[in-house]
Amino acid sequence: MAIAQWLNQTIGFFIFFFLDIFDYLFCFIYKTLDLFFEYEWKPCYCSFPLEAQAKTRKIIVSERGDYSNVVSMTRTKIHFDEISDTLYARGPSLLMRLSKLVSSVKFFNYTGLIMRHNVVDSCDNTYDSKKKTRSGSKKRLMTLNSTVVEKLPTTPRWSDCHCSFCTSWLSPSNKDSLYVKVQQPKDNKKARDNVVFIHGFLSSSSFWSETLFPNFSDTAKSNYRLIAVDLLGYGRSPKPNDSLYTLREHLEMIEKSVISQYKLKKFHVVAHSLGCVLALALAVKHPGAIKSLTLLAPPYYKVPKGVQAAQYVMRKVAPKNVWPPMQFGASLISWYEHLGRTVCLVLCKSHRLVDSLTRLLTLNRMRTYLIEGFLCHTHNGSWHTLHNIIFGSGGKLDSYLDYVRDHVDCDITIFHGRKDEVIPVECSYSVKTRVPRATVHVIPDKDHITIVVGRQKEFARELELIWQTSKTIYK
Separation between Cα atoms, residue 340 and residue 345, nearest integer Å:
9
* DSSP assignment string, 230-267: PPTTBTTS---TT----HHHHHHHHIIIIIITTT-SSE
Q: Which of 393, 397, 387, 328 is nearest to 86 (CA)?
A: 387
Better-scored residue on pLDDT, 231 or 365? 231
pLDDT digits (tens, 9 = 90+) for 440-472: 999 999 999 999 999 999 999 999 999 999 864
Per-residue pLDDT at 77: 45
Strand stretches in 101-211, DSSP E: 114-118, 139-149, 180-183, 193-198
Q: What is the mean pLDDT of residues 430-444?
A: 97
Record the pTM.
Answer: 0.84
Is residue 193 part of the annotated active site? The answer reads no
Per-residue pLDDT at 81: 64
Per-residue pLDDT for 133 more than 70? no
Per-residue pLDDT at 326: 87
Sign for the CA dihedral angle at 12, 391, 441, 196 comes to negative
Angle at 434 between CA 433 and CA 438, to 5 degrees: 75
Per-residue pLDDT at 190: 67
Better-scored residue on pLDDT, 60 or 87? 87
pLDDT digits (tens, 9 = 90+) for 322-337: 988 888 999 999 999 9
Catalytic residue from among 159, 273, 292, 382? 273
Contact (Cβ atoms closer than 8 angstroms) between residue 391 and residue 313: yes
Catalytic residue from among 199, 268, 351, 379? 199
Per-residue pLDDT for 65 more than 90? no
Is residue 338 part of the annotated active site? The answer reads no
Per-residue pLDDT at 4: 83
Per-residue pLDDT at 88: 80
Better-scored residue on pLDDT, 62 or 201? 201
pLDDT digits (tens, 9 = 90+) for 10-63: 898 999 999 999 999 999 999 999 999 998 888 888 865 443 333 334 555 544
Catalytic residue from among 20, 160, 411, 420? 420
Q: Give 242's pLDDT tier (boundaries 50, 70, 90).
A: confident
Better-scored residue on pLDDT, 403 or 367? 403
Q: Which backbone phi and psi does 347 adopt, to 5 degrees?
A: -95, -50
Cα–Cα distances in Å, from 184 out to 192, 205, 465? Answer: 11, 15, 19
Q: Give 188's pLDDT tier (boundaries 50, 70, 90).
A: low
Separation between Cα atoms, residue 196 and residue 214, nearest integer Å:
16
Q: What is the mean pLDDT of residues 99-119?
A: 39
Per-residue pLDDT for 434 more than 80? yes
Cα–Cα distances in Å, from 92 out to 9, 62, 344? Answer: 16, 20, 25
Is residue 448 part of the annotated active site? The answer reads yes
pLDDT digits (tens, 9 = 90+) for 271-293: 999 999 999 999 999 999 999 99
Domains of the chain from N-terminus onward: 168-469 (3.40.50.1820)
Per-residue pLDDT for 212 more than 50? yes
Q: Give 148's pLDDT tier (boundaries 50, 70, 90).
A: very low
Catalytic residue from among 250, 286, 351, 448? 448
Q: Which of 294, 333, 334 is nearest to 86 (CA)?
A: 334
Is residue 250 part of the annotated active site? The answer reads no
Better-scored residue on pLDDT, 154 or 19? 19
- In this structure, of 13-27, 337-351, 357-371, the range with the lowest mean pLDDT score is 357-371
Burial of 269-295, coded b for 16+ CB within 10 Å and e otherwise, reads bbbbbbbbbbbbbbbbbbbebbbbbbb
